[in-house]
Amino acid sequence: MTSSFDFTIWPPTLTNSQLETLTLLASTSALANGLLYLPPAEKQPNIPSAAIHAPFSLFPSPFPRYLFDKARRLQNTYNILYARIAMDDEFLDKVMGAEEGLGKVDDFIGQLWRGWKQLRDDGLAQPLHLGLFRSDYLLHTESGGDLSIKQVEFNTISVSFGCLSQKVAALHRYLLQTSGYYQSSPSLRKENFPSNQNIVGLASGLAEAHNAYGVVGARILFVVQPGERNIFDQRPLEYQLLEEYSIQIIRQTFDELAETASVDPSTSILRIACSRDIEPSGFVEISTVYYRSGYMPHEYPTSGHYTTRFLLERSKAIKCPTIALQLAGGKKVQEVLTQPGVLERFLTDETRYGKGVLSVENVNELKESFMSMWGLDVGEDMLLPDLEATVAGTEHYGVRKARKAALSLVLKPQREGGGNNVYKEAIKSFLDNLPPQERQAWIAMELIHPPETGNYLIRAGTTQSESQAPVKAETVSELGIYGWALFGGLNKNVKEREVGWLVRTKGKDSDEGGVATGFSVLDSVLLVD
């Protein structure tokens, strides 16, 4: 199926006066409604006294309605898939473990896996997992000109910008209501601006876990980064949990938790020491641990930081995510899922999942969202590691194939947060210098080819004198779909929901996509036919 919309005419033409007025309306609306960041600082103050608006687009970006609906529909299947992966210890040991898998060559992954393996051997206190997920897609132009959606990655830890993306969608609706966007495009109509309720949806997942824990007065722990600038993407979840569910939050860093966290040896209850002004007993019980940090190696600068992570994992609190679910989100897992029979194992195997199996149509829809990818360590059958090449120090088939197709590829390591991938012309020299023992840590993925389009991008200055003028640019937009899943226990049931979406837009020449790292702006969807 193809879209009749002409992406090349976007964004609509505006006069300088119209552009200036829209920028003023948008910037003041962003500041008034919490579409905010803390400004850059060597050290963030304990009590913030200033903020800047987050980067955003002036127009929503066009996205075909039938593909938007498909992405939302796929999320339910992806929720179930990744829940089942996280419950399959044998699979994760093979793909991500430090004995057979990625953990052999990636110290960060190896450290997490070894800690998780020891905790399993000792006996885990909490069988339930909570995942707040985001599946990211780009529009892809097929050879015949039709459009499809292709998955960039699936995120299982610290999925961000749910709250701010809801606010930027509201900002674009506000601009439509106040200006009509000066009737600059017939597509800019109310019915083409889909509702986005990420805050309610994501908070409902956290509340589901809290209620499953079932202790009155327990709190949810947000594990956060020190000096966090993106607090305005986190606080709305806190407010929603308090207002809708009367659930209170406590926020702490790993360093703080090293001093305050303890696990009762007989009950496995996780307690956080606090001021007696907060709780007369001097501690609070934790129902759910929600990680907004802990996904990058630099967040574990000492062995003590791993010790703190494993302490939390040992407890009875429900983790979002567990270490198993964090490992399930690995790029290597994404690559293995493209291999024959793997999806079928998780989605259609009646001996494992009985009446919970999904249809062949569900599996085929997921496969349609995959780009071709392979591990740099694979042999010529494209399934098994090239052990002979590893021993001999020669090039694996996967490396030779990546060299040949370099201009149409991206190389991805198991790293989150943006700025880690290797693209096109840089691939050959990168492969020249990649030690053979590290090849297992990288996957090659065919590049996605989005349609040509554009937008106006607005970034805040850090001082009053810096310009906030919109920059017109050729752009690429990435759609993310949010979902949650609560799963585990003896019957391995999965309760899941699809809950909303985001759009991140970047200049066409930027290979990376992180908003927090400065590559992208926040955007929203304009549905087109």
Tell me the DSSP string of 376-415: TTB-TTSSSB-HHHHHHT---HHHHHHHHTGGGEEEEES-
Q: Has 492 been annotated as catalytic?
A: no
Average pLDDT of the residues in 419-445? 91
Q: Where are the alpha helices (DSSP H) in 159-251?
A: 162-179, 198-213, 235-245
Residues counted in the chain: 529
Q: Has 504 been annotated as catalytic?
A: yes
Task: Specify the pTM.
Answer: 0.94
Report how far residue 380's alpha carbon sits from residue 487's, in angstroms, rounded to the nearest whole number.
37
Report how far residue 135's alpha carbon sits from residue 338's, in angstroms, rounded to the nearest whole number.
16
Q: Is 79 annotated as a binding residue?
A: no
Q: Has 65 been annotated as catalytic?
A: no
Q: Is 419 annotated as a binding residue?
A: yes
Q: Measuring CA to CA, which residue among 36, 1, 310, 297 is closest to residue 145?
A: 1
Q: Has 244 been annotated as catalytic?
A: no
Q: Has 362 been annotated as catalytic?
A: no
pLDDT of residue 229: 94
Q: Is 272 annotated as a binding residue?
A: no
* CATH of 372-447 given 3.30.360.10, 3.30.1600.10, 3.30.1490.50, 3.30.70.890: 3.30.1490.50
Catalytic, out of 238, 299, 313, 416: 416
How sure is the predictor about 449, in pLDDT bands with cuts at 50, 70 and 90? very high
Q: Has 150 been annotated as catalytic?
A: no
State both tokens at 463. Answer: 């001082």
Least confident of 8-22, 238-252, 339-353: 339-353
- Residues 350/357, Cβ–Cβ less than 8 Å: yes
* CB half-sphere exposure, 114, CA atoms < 13 A: 13
Mean pLDDT over the full length of the chain: 93
Q: Is 151 annotated as a binding residue?
A: no
Average pLDDT of the residues in 494-521? 81
Q: Has 514 been annotated as catalytic?
A: no
Q: Measuring CA to CA, which residue among 65, 193, 137, 131 is closest to residue 481?
A: 137
For 88-97, b/e burial (b = at least 16 CB within 10 A) is beebbbebbb
Domain with CATH 3.30.1490.50 in the chain: 372-447
Q: Is 506 annotated as a binding residue?
A: yes
Q: Per residue in 224-251, pLDDT tens? A: 999 999 999 999 999 999 999 999 999 9
Catalytic, out of 3, 29, 79, 155: 155
Q: Has 208 been annotated as catalytic?
A: no
Catalytic, out of 271, 332, 504, 524: 504
Q: Per residue in 117-166, pLDDT tens? A: 999 999 999 999 999 999 999 999 988 789 999 999 999 999 999 999 99
pLDDT of residue 360: 87
Q: Is 445 annotated as a binding residue?
A: yes
Q: Has 155 been annotated as catalytic?
A: yes
DSSP state at residue 269: -
Q: Is 360 annotated as a binding residue?
A: no
What value, to the nearest 5°, has the Cα angle with vertex 489 and ends 484 and 494?
Answer: 30
Q: Per residue in 375-412, pLDDT tens? A: 998 887 776 777 666 666 678 889 999 999 999 999 99
